[in-house]
Amino acid sequence: MIKQYTAAVIQAGSEMMDKDKGVDKAIRLIKEAGENEAKVIVFPEAQFDFDPVGHYARKDIFKLEVDETKRE
Protein backbone atom coordinates (compact mmCIF):
# COMPACT_ATOMS: atom_id res chain seq x y z
CA MET A 1 0.00 0.00 0.00
CA ILE A 2 1.28 3.45 -0.90
CA LYS A 3 0.98 6.09 1.80
CA GLN A 4 0.73 9.75 0.96
CA TYR A 5 2.14 12.51 3.12
CA THR A 6 1.90 16.28 2.94
CA ALA A 7 5.32 17.90 2.59
CA ALA A 8 6.28 21.47 3.45
CA VAL A 9 9.20 22.87 1.51
CA ILE A 10 10.43 25.90 3.44
CA GLN A 11 12.00 28.73 1.47
CA ALA A 12 13.00 31.32 4.05
CA GLY A 13 16.10 33.36 4.65
CA SER A 14 18.49 32.41 7.43
CA GLU A 15 19.22 34.50 10.49
CA MET A 16 22.92 34.87 9.81
CA MET A 17 25.07 34.44 12.91
CA ASP A 18 22.09 34.70 15.31
CA LYS A 19 21.46 31.20 16.63
CA ASP A 20 18.59 32.08 18.98
CA LYS A 21 16.70 34.05 16.35
CA GLY A 22 17.30 31.30 13.78
CA VAL A 23 16.02 28.57 16.11
CA ASP A 24 12.94 30.63 17.01
CA LYS A 25 12.21 31.18 13.32
CA ALA A 26 12.62 27.47 12.56
CA ILE A 27 10.28 26.50 15.41
CA ARG A 28 7.66 28.95 14.14
CA LEU A 29 7.92 27.57 10.60
CA ILE A 30 7.77 23.95 11.80
CA LYS A 31 4.65 24.70 13.86
CA GLU A 32 3.03 26.42 10.89
CA ALA A 33 3.81 23.47 8.63
CA GLY A 34 2.41 21.06 11.23
CA GLU A 35 -0.78 23.10 11.51
CA ASN A 36 -1.12 22.60 7.75
CA GLU A 37 -0.78 18.82 8.23
CA ALA A 38 2.78 18.50 6.90
CA LYS A 39 4.44 15.23 7.88
CA VAL A 40 7.70 15.98 6.04
CA ILE A 41 9.39 19.39 6.39
CA VAL A 42 12.36 20.39 4.25
CA PHE A 43 14.57 23.41 4.86
CA PRO A 44 17.25 24.83 2.50
CA GLU A 45 20.76 23.60 3.22
CA ALA A 46 21.83 27.03 4.49
CA GLN A 47 18.77 27.72 6.66
CA PHE A 48 20.72 27.21 9.86
CA ASP A 49 23.74 29.32 9.07
CA PHE A 50 25.04 29.98 12.58
CA ASP A 51 28.65 29.24 11.70
CA PRO A 52 29.29 30.15 8.06
CA VAL A 53 32.57 28.23 7.88
CA GLY A 54 32.50 25.32 10.31
CA HIS A 55 29.22 23.62 9.45
CA TYR A 56 30.30 22.65 5.93
CA ALA A 57 33.03 20.45 7.41
CA ARG A 58 30.66 18.49 9.67
CA LYS A 59 28.85 15.60 8.02
CA ASP A 60 26.60 14.94 11.03
CA ILE A 61 24.72 18.26 10.74
CA PHE A 62 22.35 17.08 8.02
CA LYS A 63 22.14 13.43 9.06
CA LEU A 64 18.72 11.81 8.67
CA GLU A 65 17.89 8.58 10.44
CA VAL A 66 14.82 6.49 9.74
CA ASP A 67 13.73 3.77 12.15
CA GLU A 68 12.25 1.12 9.86
CA THR A 69 11.19 -1.02 12.83
CA LYS A 70 8.38 1.42 13.66
CA ARG A 71 6.50 1.04 10.38
CA GLU A 72 2.72 0.80 10.59
Could you report the average pLDDT of every consecutive run of 10 residues in the chain (72 residues)?
90 81 90 94 75 51 57 53
Distance set, CA 1 to CA 4, 7, 38, 72 (Å): 10, 19, 20, 11
> Beta partners for 38?
6
pLDDT at residue 14 in the model: 80
Element (H, E) at 60: none
pLDDT at residue 3 in the model: 87
pLDDT at residue 52 in the model: 52
